[in-house]
């Protein structure tokens, strides 16, 4: 199946239109598909408002399950088999899974469609409800990241069912409940996603990418965490820099961070950010909550410092080069100090593979045929880590960032561009239809 789809996509690259799209670029079934989505856009918007108004901050397990139940009801009504995977083993609410198996003979493509139920806004956030800002926009927690993408996914599948196309494909849907703050161990938290990817041909993520409908994601940077733990020799400040006393923990931490910047900042698409720093005579640090306290005096050389941050790279090789250089810098410590750096990989990178490029070419063709214009690959610096990265290495092709577009994600100014709700649904449905047909 992967070989068959690859040939289709290679053909699509050579057939990209150079003239403005015409209605005749869509056959009668495709036109019916597009019309159905346009006619049901109000229903899709109503569902978006319903789920946005349910708080589902990652640690609000009840809220995450409630949103999962809403989607379970919708997918059950569509004829999917649904399941809730409890997250007790990885300390989170769990994941929603839906499955469809087509019944027409032949080699059917197997799609893995990826979303997430949780948001960054916990119940104590002042940002809790859906608010229309006129015909074209709406503000609300998770409108674009990514309850809007979940709605697009569902309505694309409903549209495919309306033209009797679902039986030409197999579909697995996974909406994780902890994308914004992954459970631990990570291997357990993403086991279901990896297992589903191993059985799939194509993975499609419905995140919002960089919020621009003219782009889609074929490459994402992986992310990981690092912790720098520095010890110095406490003494009266008048003795600092003496050979037997040294520079203290804070100066050593500053040296290391400055050397990170000088030694690594020029590498393309690599970023490393210190997010928290504490230092003093004594300190307490809660790594899980990323907060702590420190005590010290101006006339006492600091004995302890802690820094935590993240590291993002486009490939495992780049990640490994960066961690090795950071270890070398850390080990070259100042006199009378010692330091240790540890790394905790989180989301793997998603490489811009040939298969991903071919899938983008077909998506671009779909967009042009619909009259929405071209779609290009987003700069990986402009799209953060996402669950699709766990699937990308196992499938022939992967694409992400085709959800509801807007701006202000992860802030109280998260605003959705509602004009992209039917547009993105039409693009996704037509992409899947053409792949299932085995034709451009």
Residue 282 belongs to domain spanning: 222-347
- For residue 157, being part of any structural domain is answered with yes
3-state helix, strand, coil in the chain (%, to 5): 40, 25, 35
The whole-number average pLDDT for the span 166-184 is 96
Domain boundary among the residues 347, 374, 393 is at 347
pLDDT digits (tens, 9 = 90+) for 192-218: 999 999 999 999 999 999 999 999 999
The whole-number average pLDDT for the span 393-404 is 97
- For residue 1, being part of any structural domain is answered with no
Tell how strand 397-399 and strand 202-205 pair up.
Answer: parallel
Domain boundary among the residues 304, 319, 347 is at 347
> φ, ψ for residue 41 (rounded to 5)?
-65, -35
Q: What's the pTM value of the predicted model, to 2 decimals? A: 0.84
- For residue 214, being part of any structural domain is answered with yes
282 and 358 both lie in a single domain: no
With a cut of 70, say whether residue 76 has pLDDT above it. yes
343 and 364 both lie in a single domain: no
CB atoms under 10 Å from CB of 137, counted, come to: 16
173 and 35 both lie in a single domain: yes
202, 435 Cβ separation under 8 angstroms: yes
Q: How confident is the model at residue 255 (pLDDT cuts 50, 70, 90)?
A: very high
State whether the Cα torsion 142-147-152-155 is positive or negative: negative
Tell how strand 94-101 and strand 397-399 pair up.
Answer: unpaired
**17/349: higher pLDDT:** 349
- Bridge partners (DSSP) listed for residue 399: 204
343 and 371 both lie in a single domain: no
Provide the CATH number for the domain around residue 173. Answer: 3.40.630.10
The Cα 52–Cα 73 span in angstroms is 16
136 and 23 both lie in a single domain: yes
Measure CA of the first residue to CA of the last residue in the chain; give whole Å.
15
304 and 236 both lie in a single domain: yes
128 and 37 both lie in a single domain: yes
325 and 354 both lie in a single domain: no
The Cα 68–Cα 59 span in angstroms is 14
The whole-number average pLDDT for the span 286-294 is 85
Q: Give the pLDDT score at 439.
A: 60
18 and 87 both lie in a single domain: yes
With a cut of 60, say whether residue 6 has pLDDT above it. no
Length of the chain: 440
Cα distances (angstroms) measured from residue 318 to each of 31, 271, 325, 399, 427: 45, 11, 11, 22, 33
Domain boundary among the residues 319, 347, 375 is at 347
Q: How confident is the model at residue 9 (pLDDT cuts 50, 70, 90)?
A: very low
180 and 214 both lie in a single domain: yes
12 and 105 both lie in a single domain: yes
- For residue 210, being part of any structural domain is answered with yes
Question: Rounded mean pLDDT of the chain?
Answer: 92
Provide the CATH number for the domain around residue 256. Answer: 3.30.70.360
- For residue 2, being part of any structural domain is answered with no
Residue 161 class from Cβ within 10 Å (0-12 exposed, 13-18 middle, 19+ buried)? middle
32 and 166 both lie in a single domain: yes
400, 385 Cβ separation under 8 angstroms: no
The whole-number average pLDDT for the span 393-419 is 96
pLDDT digits (tens, 9 = 90+) for 358-391: 999 999 999 999 999 999 999 988 877 789 999 9
Number of domains in the chain: 2
Query: Which contiguous run of DSSP H or E holds residue 324?
Result: helix 316-331
**134/440: higher pLDDT:** 134
């Amino acid at each position: 199946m992967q070989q068959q789809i690859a040939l289709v996509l290679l053909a699509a690259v050579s057939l990209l239109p150079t003239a403005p799209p015409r209605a005749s670029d869509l056959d009668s079934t495709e036109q019916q598909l597009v019309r159905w989505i346009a006619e049901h856009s109000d229903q899709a918007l109503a569902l978006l408002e319903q789920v946005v108004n349910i708080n589902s901050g990652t640690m609000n397990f009840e809220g995450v399950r409630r949103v999962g139940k809403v989607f379970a009801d919708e997918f059950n009504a569509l004829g999917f088999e649904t399941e809730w995977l409890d997250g007790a083993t990885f300390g989170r609410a769990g994941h929603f899974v839906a499955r469809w198996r087509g019944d027409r003979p032949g080699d059917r493509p197997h799609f893995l469609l990826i979303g997430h139920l949780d948001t960054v806004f916990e119940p104590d956030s002042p940002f809790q409800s859906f608010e229309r800002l006129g015909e074209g926009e709406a503000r609300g927690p998770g409108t674009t990241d990514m309850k809007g993408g979940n709605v697009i996914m569902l309505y694309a599948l409903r549209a495919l069912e309306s033209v009797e196309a679902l039986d030409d494909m197999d579909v697995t849907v996974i909406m994780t409940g902890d994308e914004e703050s992954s459970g631990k161990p990570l291997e357990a938290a993403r086991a279901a996603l990896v297992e589903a990817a191993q059985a799939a041909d194509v993975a499609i993520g419905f995140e919002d990418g960089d919020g621009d409908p003219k782009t889609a994601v074929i490459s994402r940077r992986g992310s990981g965490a690092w912790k720098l733990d520095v010890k110095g020799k406490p003494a009266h400040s008048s003795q600092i820099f003496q050979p037997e006393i040294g520079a203290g923990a804070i100066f050593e931490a500053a040296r290391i961070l400055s050397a990170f910047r000088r030694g690594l900042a020029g590498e393309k698409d690599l970023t490393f950010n210190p997010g928290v720093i504490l230092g003093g005579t004594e300190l307490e640090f809660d790594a899980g909550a990323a907060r702590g306290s420190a005590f010290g005096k101006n006339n006492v050389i600091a004995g302890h410092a802690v820094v935590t941050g993240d590291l993002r790279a486009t490939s495992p090789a780049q990640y490994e080069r960066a961690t090795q250089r950071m270890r070398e810098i850390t080990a070259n410590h100042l006199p009378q100090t010692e330091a240790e750096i540890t790394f905790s990989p989180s989301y793997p990178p998603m490489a811009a593979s040939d298969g991903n490029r071919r899938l983008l070419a077909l998506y671009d063709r779909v967009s042009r045929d619909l009259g929405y214009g071209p779609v290009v690959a987003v700069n990986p610096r402009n799209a953060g880590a996402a669950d699709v990265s766990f699937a990308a290495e196992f499938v022939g092709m992967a694409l992400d960032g085709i959800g509801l577009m807007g701006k202000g994600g992860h802030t109280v100014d998260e605003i959705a561009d509602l004009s992209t709700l039917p547009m993105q649904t039409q693009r996704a449905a037509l992409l899947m239809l053409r792949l299932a047909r085995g034709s451009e």
